[in-house]
Structure 1
């Protein structure tokens, strides 16, 4: 399994919004794009998708932009990736009946892997990403005497 560019960019943009959540300051697309090195037009599409899913909200006007729709500790990574990727892990019973034994075995293992990855993504929130990023930044600071 691989993290798609779409999901990575969405998570990076949401990290920017999570950083400013307490201040309630909307972030403009160009600010987020410059900070995270994401193409403006692509980011615009991603934020529109996240808005439709209720993860972010937009604010119009001269000081407008995007904000998180909820607290960063209430938005799971599974919710973000599911929104961006349009994930639906269910398969129909008709489809199951038409499978060969080999296909069924492969699909069952794949389903188990998906459930495991979903459990990990459900466990972490945007706040967790911010906390882990801050911890890593502290480790990278070098003091010279």
Structure 2
């Protein structure tokens, strides 16, 4: 595999759908202390997410109890819980669903071994996502933003 990058070899990627949902939830978490709902257009503009797509994602997140909507002229979306109480795994599972794979009974030993290793890597990735709350992402955001230098 000469010349092949590790990122191409390990095809574990975050779907665009999950990435957009995580970005939208992070945007809501960043504005959480204000206590005011954010409109779809505002979230979409801040995170470069297509409006229509974001509408669908927020509807899914609302159905799963991660966000709540407020109607009216000053309406929009808010986190349904505090940022420390929402982890990234919940968001991804809400969008992607929980993956359940059935192992065929006629599976070879080699195929079973590969599936076992893949399941272990998936569990490790899930544990990382579970360990990160929206609050922790906000803290990392603030830390990173404070180290950015602007030059004129």
- TM-score, with length taken from structure 1: 0.91
Structure-2 residue corresponding to 1:107: 115
Q: Does residue 117 in structure 1 map to residue 125 in structure 2?
A: yes
In 1, Cα distance between equivalents of 2:124 and 2:106: 26
Pick one of 47, 56, 72 that aligns with 2:83: 72
Size of the alignment, in residue pairs?
141
Report deviation, 1:8. 1.1
In 2, Cα distance between equivalents of 1:85 and 1:142: 38
- TM-score, with length taken from structure 2: 0.87
Unaligned runs of 5+ in 1: none
Q: Does residue 129 in structure 1 map to residue 137 in structure 2?
A: yes
Report deviation, 1:50. 0.6
User: Is residue 74–residue 125 contact of structure 1 (8 Å, CA) maintained in 2?
Assistant: yes
Structure-2 residue corresponding to 1:138: 146
Residue 132 of structure 1 aligns to a residue whose secondary structure is helix
In 1, Cα distance between equivalents of 2:150 and 2:45: 26
In 1, Cα distance between equivalents of 2:77 and 2:150: 34
In 2, Cα distance between equivalents of 1:77 and 1:124: 6
Unaligned runs of 5+ in 2: 1-11
RMSD: 1.5
User: Is residue 96–residue 104 contact of structure 1 (8 Å, CA) maintained in 2?
Assistant: no
In 1, Cα distance between equivalents of 2:124 and 2:18: 18
Q: Does residue 28 in structure 1 map to residue 39 in structure 2?
A: yes
In 1, Cα distance between equivalents of 2:27 and 2:91: 14
Structure-2 residue corresponding to 1:82: 93
Runs of 4+ more than 6 Å apart: none
In 2, Cα distance between equivalents of 1:96 and 1:119: 26
User: Is residue 72–residue 126 contact of structure 1 (8 Å, CA) maintained in 2?
Assistant: yes
User: Is residue 58–residue 64 contact of structure 1 (8 Å, CA) maintained in 2?
Assistant: yes
